[in-house]
Amino acid sequence: MSNWQGKIVIGLTGNIATGKSVVRRMLEHLGAYTIDADALAHRVIAKGAPGYQPVLDKFGKWLLDPDGQINRARLGRLVFSDSQALAQLEDIIHPFVAQAIDLLIRHASQNVVVIEAIKLLETDLRHKCDSIWVTEADQKVQIERLLQKRGMSMEDALQRIHAQSPQQEKINAATVVLKNNGSIEDLWKQVDAAWKRILPAPQAEPAARTLTQPEAGPEAFSLQRGRPRDAQKIADFITRVSRGRRTVTRDEVMNAFGDKAFLLLYMGNELVGVAGWQVENLVARTTDLYLDPKASAARALPLLLSEIERAAGELQCEASLVFPPIDLVGFDAVWKQTGYERQTPEGLGVQAWTDAALESMPKGSALFFKQLRADRVLRPI
What is the fold of 8-203? Rossmann fold (3.40.50)
What whole-number distance in Å separates Cα of residue 131 and Cα of residue 176? 8
Helices 72-79 & 154-162 angle (0-180, nearest 10)? 60
Distances in Å between the Cα of 190 and the Cα atoms of 14, 24, 107, 112 are: 15, 13, 29, 18
Band (pLDDT 50/70/90 cuts) for residue 208 is very low
* Strand locations in 200-280 (E): 221-225, 261-267, 270-280
String of b and e for 228-253 (b: at least 16 CB within 10 Å)? bebbebbbebbbebeeeeeebeeeeb
Reduced to 3 states (helix: H, G, I; strand: E, B; else coil), residue 87 is: helix
How confident is the model over 288-313, as a mean pLDDT?
A: 94
* Residue 228 backbone phi and psi in degrees, to 5: -55, -30
What totals of helices (H) and strands (E) does the chain contain, helices first? Answer: 15, 12
179 backbone dihedrals φ, ψ, rounded to 5°: -85, 120
Residue 59's H or E segment, with its range, is: helix 52-59
pLDDT at 2: 64
Look at residue 379 and tell me whether its pLDDT is greater than 90.
Answer: no
Angle at 160 between CA 158 and CA 165, to 5 degrees: 105
Question: What is the pLDDT confidence band of residue 59, given thresholds at 50, 70 and 90?
Answer: very high
| Res 343 pLDDT > 60 | yes
- The CATH code that applies to domain 221-371 is 3.40.630.30
Q: Count Cα neighbours of 39 within 13 Å in the Cβ-side half-sphere.
A: 20
What mean pLDDT comes out for the span 310-324?
94
Greatest alpha-carbon pair distance for the chain in Å reads 67
Distance CA 328, CA 326 (A): 5
C-beta separation of 45 from 194 below 8 A: no
CB-based burial of residue 216 (10 Å sphere; 0-12 exposed, 13-18 middle, 19+ buried)?
exposed
pLDDT of residue 80: 85
Residue-wise pLDDT tens digits, 213-245: 555 556 789 999 998 889 999 999 999 999 878
pLDDT in tens, 116-174: 999 899 889 999 999 999 999 999 999 999 999 888 999 989 988 988 889 999 999 99
Does pLDDT of 175 surpass 80?
yes
**pLDDT by residue (tens digit) across 94-118?**
999 999 999 999 999 999 999 999 9
Calculate the alpha carbon distances from 57 to 53, 65, 66, 70, 74 in Å: 6, 16, 18, 12, 16
- Side chain identity, residue 287: T
In this structure, the strands spanning 176-179 and 319-322 are unpaired
- Average pLDDT of the chain, as a whole number: 90
pTM, two decimals, is 0.86
Residue 210 has pLDDT above 70, yes or no: no
In degrees, rounded to 5, the angle at the alpha carbon of residue 16 between the alpha carbons of residues 173 and 260 is 100
Give the model's pLDDT for residue 207. Answer: 44
Pair 149, 22: CB distance under 8 Å: no
Beta strands in the chain (DSSP E): 8-14, 33-36, 112-116, 131-136, 176-179, 221-225, 261-267, 270-280, 283-291, 319-322, 341-342, 368-371
331 exposed, middle or buried (CB, 10 Å; 0-12, 13-18, 19+)?
A: middle
Domain spans, the chain: 8-203, 221-371
Alpha carbon 208 to chain centroid, angstroms: 20
The string of pLDDT tens digits covering residues 356-374 is 999 999 887 899 999 998 8
pLDDT of residue 217: 59
Asked if the model's pLDDT at residue 23 lies above 90, the reply is yes
State how far the Cα of 97 lies from the Cα of 44, in Å rounded to an integer.
7
Confidence of residue 1 (pLDDT cuts 50, 70, 90): low
Residue % of the chain over a pLDDT of 90:
73
Is residue 16 within 8 A of residue 142, CB to CB? The reply is: yes
Flag whether pLDDT at 211 surpasses 70: no
pLDDT band at 351 (very low <50, low <70, confident <90, very high): confident
